[in-house]
Amino acid sequence: MRRLVPAVFATVFTATLIAAPVPKGKEDFGPVTDEQLKEAAERMKQIGLALHAHYDTHGFLPKSLNAKDGKPGLSWRVAILPFLEEDALYKEFKVDEGWDSEHNKKLIEKLPKIYAPIRVKAKEKGHTFYQGFDGPDTTFEAGRQLTLKLSFPDGTSTTIGVVEAGEPVVWTKPEDIKFNPKKDLPPLGGLFDGDFHVLFMDGSVRKATGKKVNATEFKKLVTKSDSWVVNVAAILGEK
């Protein structure tokens, strides 16, 4: 497990992570309010509880599924519906079919409130900003089945699960933020003008100030076994 840098010794990072205050794919709906931020943080907490409940029930963390024909199936967002009091909606899906099968694509418009955009309006129905990272050594790396006990050597309190992305995706589609440690991160913070909430894999939720986040340091929170020494508060721009 990696060590945390004490806040008193933290370096203040000032590189910008967020590209545009109003990314394409959404419309702006006025200034950010405390009520909106509170609701967003609460939704993240509920998603975190659902991820852990799935783990407690099945012995592994949810992941995007493949259909019986090997094509892209359904997102982890669908997999945790029973743990978000959306069991009836989950049962409507044909889990052995693709997200865009004739049957399942009809359910895209049934976007649960917990995944719906706050403050903004996605230009397409059934789109969400709540996404994980998909890439090497990430929580939602395609094809990997993870456990909380063995899959997070860096520690669950310093490894990111879900964030508010910069661009929305179809909530049922097995699509998340593409991550390549050698490339720039895509924009985050599509709901709150560049600021965004972060759900860590221990279930904690913290708010990142986009203009103060250093993209290079932030990548250390995306990967789960890099062994870097980190200061979460400094990386998220909390200090």
Residues pairing with 123 in the sheet: none
- Is the confidence at residue 236, as pLDDT, over 70? yes
Query: Residue 65's pLDDT is what?
Result: 79
- Mean pLDDT, the chain, whole residue set: 88
User: Which residue range(s) make up the domain with 120?
Assistant: 18-235
- Is the confidence at residue 5, as pLDDT, over 60? no
- Is the confidence at residue 86, as pLDDT, over 90? yes
Query: Residue 10's pLDDT is what?
Result: 35
- Has residue 174 been placed in a domain? yes
- Has residue 2 been placed in a domain? no
- Has residue 3 been placed in a domain? no
Q: Place 6 in a pLDDT band, splitting at 50, 70 and 90.
A: very low
- Has residue 12 been placed in a domain? no
Please state the domain count of the chain. Answer: 1
- Has residue 152 been placed in a domain? yes
The two structure tokens encoding residue 151: 């899959």
Cα-flanking dihedrals φ and ψ of residue 184, to 5°? -65, 150
Task: List strand residue ranges (DSSP E) for the chain, in order.
Answer: 26-27, 121-122, 127-131, 133-134, 160-170, 177-178, 196-200, 205-208
Tens-digit pLDDT profile for residues 166-181:
999 999 999 999 999 9
Q: How many CB atoms lie within 10 A of CB 58?
A: 11
The answer, as to whether pTM is greater than 0.85, is: yes
Q: Place 8 in a pLDDT band, splitting at 50, 70 and 90.
A: very low
Please state, in angstroms and rounded to a whole number, the distance separating the CA atoms of residues 181 and 202.
23
- Has residue 7 been placed in a domain? no
Query: Residue 143's pLDDT is what?
Result: 82
Q: Are 198 and 207 in contact (CB under 8 A)?
A: yes
- Has residue 28 been placed in a domain? yes
pLDDT, mean of residues 60-68: 86
- Has residue 1 been placed in a domain? no
Query: Residue 221's pLDDT is what?
Result: 96
Residues pairing with 26 in the sheet: 122
